[in-house]
Structure 1
Amino acid sequence: MPRTRTVRADLVIVAGLVAATQMSWGVVIPVMPVLAETLDASVTDLGLLIALFGLGRLFANLPAGRLAERVNQKWLLLVSVVAVVAFMALSGFVTDLNQLFVLRVLTGIGGGFAVTVGNAFIASTTAPERRGRALGTLHAFQLAGGALGPSVGGFVAAWSGPTAAFLVSGAAAAAFAIAGVFWLRSPQRQHPSESIAAGEAPRRRQWLLRDRSMLAICIVGFAVFFARFGGQQFLVPVLAYDQAGMTEAQLGLVLGVIAGLNIGLIGVAGWFTDKYGRKAVIIPAMLISSLAFVGYSFASTLGAFIVVSAVVGLFTSIAAPAQVAYLADIAPVARQGSAVGIYRTFGDLAALIGPVVLGVLVEHHGGWAGVVTVSACGTVAAIWFWLRARRTRPVPQPEPAEQATAAVAA
Structure 2
Amino acid sequence: MAEEFRLRSIAVAAYGPAALFGLAEGAMIPVVALSAIDRGASVSVAALVGAQLGIGSLVMNIPASVLAKRIGERRSMLLAALVTVAGLGICLVDAGDSPRSLLLYGFGVLAIGAAGAVYSLARQSYLAEVVPGHLRARALSTLGGAMRIGLFVGPFAGAGAMQLCGLPGAYLVGLVAIAGAGVLVYRAPDLASTEEHRAAVASVTTGGMLKQNWRVYTTLGTGVLLLSAIRQTRQTVIPLWAAHLGLSPTTSSVVYGIAGVIDVLTFYPAGKVMDHYGRRWVAVPSTLVLGTSFVLMPFTHGAGTLALAAMVMGFGNGIGSGIVMTLGADVSPPVGLPTHLGIWNELADIGSGLGPVLLSAVTALAGLGLGITVSGTVGFAAAAAMWTWIPRTGRPRPAAPARPPG
SS of the counterpart of 2:323? helix
* Distance in 2 between residues matched to 1:11 and 1:63, nearest whole Å: 27
Asked whether the equivalents of residues 134 and 270 of structure 1 are also in contact (C-alpha less than 8 Å), the reply is yes
Alignment of 1:56-135 (within 5 A): 56-95=56-95, 96-135=101-140
Asked whether the equivalents of residues 16 and 184 of structure 2 are also in contact (C-alpha less than 8 Å), the reply is no
Q: Give the TM-score of the pair, scaled to structure 1.
A: 0.86
Give the corresponding residue for 2:392.
391
Question: Structure 1 residues 98 and 292, CA, compared in 2 at 3 Å: closer, same or farther?
Answer: closer
Superposed displacement of residue 123, structure 1: 1.2
Question: Structure 1 residues 101 and 209, CA, compared in 2 at 3 Å: closer, same or farther?
Answer: farther
Asked whether the equivalents of residues 120 and 340 of structure 1 are also in contact (C-alpha less than 8 Å), the reply is yes
Give unpaired runs (5+ residues) of structure 2: 96-100, 195-207
Superposed displacement of residue 209, structure 1: 7.6
Superposed displacement of residue 83, structure 1: 1.2
* Distance in 1 between residues matched to 2:193 and 2:222, nearest whole Å: 28
Question: Structure 1 residues 355 and 102, CA, compared in 2 at 3 Å: closer, same or farther?
Answer: same
Give the corresponding residue for 2:236.
234
SS of the counterpart of 1:270? helix
Are residue 409 (structure 1) and residue 398 (structure 2) matched? no
> Deviation digits for residues 357-388 of structure 1, max 9, x if unmatched?
31232132112221222211121122123223
State the superposition RMSD in angstroms: 2.5
Give unpaired runs (5+ residues) of structure 1: 191-204, 398-402
Superposed displacement of residue 112, structure 1: 1.1
- 356-365 vs 273-282, which deviates more? 356-365
Give the corresponding residue for 1:14.
14
* Distance in 2 between residues matched to 1:208 and 1:304, nearest whole Å: 48
* Distance in 1 between residues matched to 2:224 and 2:192, nearest whole Å: 29
Superposed displacement of residue 187, structure 1: 1.0
Give the corresponding residue for 1:40.
40
Are residue 154 (structure 1) and residue 154 (structure 2) matched? no
> Deviation digits for residues 109-135 of structure 1, max 9, x if unmatched?
111111121111111111111001100
Superposed displacement of residue 149, structure 1: 2.2
Question: Structure 1 residues 285 and 132, CA, compared in 2 at 3 Å: closer, same or farther?
Answer: same
SS of the counterpart of 1:119? helix
Superposed displacement of residue 189, structure 1: 4.6
Give the AA of the match of 1:55.
I
* Distance in 2 between residues matched to 1:385 and 1:127, nearest whole Å: 23
Question: Structure 1 residues 5 and 380, CA, compared in 2 at 3 Å: closer, same or farther?
Answer: closer
* Distance in 1 between residues matched to 2:87 and 2:182, nearest whole Å: 15
Are residue 172 (structure 1) and residue 168 (structure 2) matched? no
* Distance in 1 between residues matched to 2:224 and 2:86, nearest whole Å: 30
* Distance in 2 between residues matched to 1:245 and 1:343, nearest whole Å: 40
- 279-288 vs 118-127, which deviates more? 279-288
Alignment of 1:239-254 (within 5 A): 239-242=241-244, 244-254=245-255
Count residues in correspondence.
385
Give the corresponding residue for 2:198.
none
Asked whether the equivalents of residues 92 and 162 of structure 1 are also in contact (C-alpha less than 8 Å), the reply is no
> Deviation digits for residues 229-278 of structure 1, max 9, x if unmatched?
22x22122111221x33222322232122211221111111000100011
Give the AA of the match of 2:70.
R
Superposed displacement of residue 169, structure 1: 0.8
* Distance in 2 between residues matched to 1:386 and 1:372, nearest whole Å: 22
* Distance in 2 between residues matched to 1:282 and 1:38, nearest whole Å: 42
SS of the counterpart of 2:304? helix
Asked whether the equivalents of residues 219 and 385 of structure 2 are also in contact (C-alpha less than 8 Å), the reply is yes
Alignment partner of 1:221 out of 203, 207, 224: 224
Alignment partner of 2:189 out of 179, 185, 188: 185
* Distance in 1 between residues matched to 2:211 and 2:81, nearest whole Å: 27
Question: Identical aligned pairs, as a percentage?
Answer: 23
Asked whether the equivalents of residues 209 and 215 of structure 1 are also in contact (C-alpha less than 8 Å), the reply is no
Question: Structure 1 residues 380 and 236, CA, compared in 2 at 3 Å: closer, same or farther?
Answer: same
Superposed displacement of residue 40, structure 1: 1.9
SS of the counterpart of 2:218? helix
* Distance in 1 between residues matched to 2:91 and 2:254, nearest whole Å: 31
Superposed displacement of residue 188, structure 1: 2.5
Alignment partner of 1:212 out of 215, 218, 221: 215
Give the AA of the match of 2:185.
G
Superposed displacement of residue 144, structure 1: 1.4
Question: Structure 1 residues 395 and 55, CA, compared in 2 at 3 Å: closer, same or farther?
Answer: closer
Asked whether the equivalents of residues 28 and 166 of structure 1 are also in contact (C-alpha less than 8 Å), the reply is yes
- 251-260 vs 263-272, which deviates more? 251-260
> Deviation digits for residues 192-245 of structure 1, max 9, x if unmatched?
xxxxxxxxxxxxx73268443443332232223222222x22122111221x33
